[in-house]
Amino acid sequence: MPWIGRPRPGTPWGIPSRRVALTRLTTLPMTDAEWAGDGFVLPPSDDALGLAVGARRLAVLGARESWPPGRALELPRTARLVALHPSLRCAAVLGPGRIELVGQALDGSPVATPARAWMRDTQTLGFDITGEGLWTSSVEDGQACVRVLDTRTLSDVAEAGLELAAPVVGEDDLDGLHEWVPHPRLPVMGVAVSQGQEGTWLTFVERGAAGLARGASVASEEAPFYPAGFLPDGSGFIGVGGTWVRRWTYPEATLAAEFLLPEQGTLATGYSGLVTERAVLVAVEDLLEAGEWYLLQLDADSLRPVCAWELPLSTEAVTSVHLLPGGFILSPEDGQLWRLPDEVLSAR
């Protein structure tokens, strides 16, 4: 049976609480570029991220780098979806009628892969950790499915798309929110499809010599969740729901631990979580007391609460946050970007 816990009655935290200082890096310019989303693009690795610094410019910021970063990619004017390669030197760009690679190859020369005509209605685009597979997700005949392209040629790895473990959608239904969860060591992708409050379905897919193979799946039909990512060794996977945090094993997708957030509006989560080397961090909002943001630190294996890190951010001024790889915090409403201190990222 998985361990399930919650804070003790009468003590919403029941754990040590510590105040931390954030390093403010910059305020990103607001852009209405379609590819930018909330202002960032995540590579499959956990030590950097891409930040929109213009309608056609993607800055690449490493975990230890100062601002401004020294790397940036220029994107086509027609970019609609962008995926950052694990080398951080190039990106895949999908625009009307075509898909292409921009930037540099590993040897520093310009990417020479020819662009490909592309007429599929695609929801998301992403690389796996090897950088050899470019993944696309879509809804075909009402069914969520994935396809993988060979990065060297942009040709299909398999002739047909692989259907995911998600409910069929009708003509009047939303296609859902599609998100990638790359395995840290293997050519495996967790593909999450959230259908609003109806729930989230996550399917593990492996890219092998014989094509694509569908593995185990996780169905959370009672509530949606954010796929926070794999543990560093790839043995488990973390999901953050509106009222809980869960760990599943990989490859079995068996529920191994759960932490239930306090009830009655004391805390609310924006489904934002970060998996570090030693802990799981979850952004929680104190609605009844100080009106501040906290990072709830949970043990990565058991999900037992360890510490509540008080952030110097007012919930009135910062209404939502994203916890991003490398230890960054982004406020999507105004583009403010901070870095967490090492004491949080290295805490046990």
- Give the Cα separation of 324 and 47 in Å (integer): 10
Tokens of 287: 């609605």
In the chain, what's the furthest Cα-to-Cα distance?
A: 62
- Give the Cα separation of 40 and 93 in Å (integer): 14
pLDDT of residue 290: 66
Which of the pair, 152 or 290, is modelled with greater confidence? Answer: 152
pLDDT of residue 51: 97
Say yes or no to pLDDT of 209 above 60.
yes
Tokens of 200: 């989230």
pLDDT of residue 151: 95
pLDDT of residue 32: 87
Say yes or no to pLDDT of 77 above 70.
yes
Say yes or no to pLDDT of 174 above 80.
no
CB-based burial, 150-178: b 16+ in 10 Å, e otherwise: ebeebeebeeebbebbbbebeeeeeebeb
**Residue-wise pLDDT tens digits, 93-139:** 999 999 999 999 988 899 989 999 999 999 999 999 999 999 999 99
What percent of the chain has pLDDT above 90? Answer: 71
pLDDT of residue 9: 45
Q: Give one word for 210, left, alpha or beta, with left for phi > 0 and alpha for psi -120 to 50.
A: alpha
Closest by Cα among 67, 17, 62 to 43: 62
pLDDT of residue 291: 79
Task: Give the torsion through C-alpha atoms of 88, 90, 95, 99, to 10 deg.
Answer: -120
Say yes or no to pLDDT of 59 above 90.
yes
Side-chain-side CA neighbours of 182 within 13 Å: the count stands at 26
For CA atoms 335, 333, 180, 170, give the dihedral sign: negative
Q: How far is CA 193 from CA 26, 80, 145, 310, in A?
A: 32, 20, 10, 32
Query: Rounded mean pLDDT of 273-282?
Result: 94
pTM comes to 0.93
Mean pLDDT of the chain: 90
**Residue-wise pLDDT tens digits, 1-54:** 444 455 544 455 678 888 899 999 999 998 989 999 899 999 999 999 999 999
